[in-house]
Chain A
Amino acid sequence: MSVEKREARQPWILLSPALTAVTLLLFVPLLFILVYSFWLRTATGADVAGFYLDNWQEALTDPFYRDILISTLRIAAITTVACAVMGYPSAYFIARSQGNKAVLLLLLMLPFWISYIIRTMSWINILGVSGALNSALMALGIISEPIQMLYNEVTVILGLVHFLLPFMILNIFVSLDGIDTNLENAANSLGATKWQAFLQVTLPLSLPGLAAGGLLCFVLGAGTYITPLVLGGPRDAMFANLVFEAIITQLNWPLGSALSLMLLAVLGALVMIYNRYLGMAQLMKGLG
Chain B
Amino acid sequence: METRFNMGWTLIRGWAVLVYIFMFLPVAVVVLLSFNASQFGNFPMTGFSFRWFVELAGNEAILRAFRTSIILGLLTALISTTLGVLASLALVRYRVPGANAISTLLIAPILVPEVVLAVALLLFLNFLGVNKSFGLLLAGHVIFTLPFVILVVQARLVSIKRDVEEAAMSLGASPVQTFFQITLPLMMPAVLAGALFAFTISFDDITGTLFWKPGGVETVPTQIFAMLRNSISPEINALGTVMIVMTVGLPLLGAVIARAMARKSGT
Residues of A at under 8 Å CB distance from B? 7, 10-12, 14-15, 17-19, 21-22, 25-30, 32-33, 36, 86-87, 89-90, 92-94, 107-108, 110-111, 113-119, 121-126, 128, 130-132, 134-135, 162, 165-166, 169, 193-195, 219, 222-226, 229-230, 240, 243-244, 247-248, 253, 256-257, 260-261, 263-264, 267-268, 271, 280, 284, 287-288
Contact = CB atoms under 8 A, between A and B. Distances in A.
Nearest to B6: A194
A122 B25 CA distance: 9
Interface string B21-45: 0111111011001000000101110
Interface stretch (B53-61, B70-78, B85-93, B164-172): B85-93
A223 B113 contact: yes
A127 to B, nearest CB: 9
Dominant secondary structure at the B interface: helix
Nearest to A286: B151
B86 A93 contact: no
Which of A32, A118, A124: most chain B Cβ within 10 A?
A: A118
Contact of A26 (B4, B93, B112): B112
A288 B113 contact: no
B224 interface: yes
Given A22-B106, A114-B244, A125 B30 contact: yes
A263 B8 CA distance: 42
Interface of B: 1, 4-5, 8, 11-13, 15-16, 19-20, 22-27, 29-30, 33, 40, 42-44, 82-84, 86-87, 89-91, 93-94, 96, 102-117, 119-125, 127, 139-140, 142-143, 146, 148, 150-152, 154-155, 200, 203-204, 206-207, 210-211, 220-221, 224-225, 228, 232, 236-237, 240, 243-244, 247-248, 251
Among A7, A114, A131: residue with most chain B CB under 10 A: A114
Given A11-B94, A118-B30, A107 B20 contact: yes
B214 to A, nearest CB: 13
A121 B12 CA distance: 29
Of B27, B115, B143, the most chain A CB neighbours within 10 A belong to B115
B16 A30 contact: no
A107 B24 CA distance: 10
B1 to A, nearest CB: 6
Contact of A256 (B87, B119, B224): B119
B112 A194 contact: no
Contacts of A32: 120, 123-124, 127
Contacts of A166: 23
10 contacts: A10-B94, A14-B87, A15-B86, A25-B140, A30-B116, A33-B124, A93-B13, A113-B251, A114-B243, A117-B204
Given A11-B90, A118-B244, A111 B155 contact: no
Given A25-B143, A264-B116, A121 B232 contact: yes
A113 to B, nearest CB: 5
Contacts of B124: 28-29, 32-33
A25 B142 contact: yes
Nearest to B246: A115
Contacts of B203: 115
Contact of B5 (A17, A86, A194): A194
A244 B143 contact: no
B19 A26 contact: no
Contact of B211 (A119, A132, A247, A264): A247
A68 B237 CA distance: 32
Contacts of A17: 82-83, 86-87
Contacts of A261: 116
Contact of A271 (B24, B111, B224): B111
Contacts of B15: 86, 89-90, 93
Contacts of B26: 119, 122-123, 125-126, 162
B34 to A, nearest CB: 10
A110 B29 CA distance: 16
B123 A11 contact: no
Nearest to A247: B119
Contacts of B29: 122, 125-126, 132
B232 A124 contact: yes
A287 B151 contact: yes
Nearest to B142: A21
A128 B142 contact: no
Given A11-B96, A113-B200, A223-B113, 18 more contacts: A10-B94, A11-B90, A18-B106, A22-B105, A22-B109, A26-B112, A89-B16, A93-B16, A108-B20, A115-B247, A116-B204, A117-B206, A122-B27, A122-B240, A128-B42, A132-B43, A244-B210, A288-B155
Nearest to A159: B26
Contacts of A86: 15, 19, 22
Contacts of B240: 115, 118, 121-122
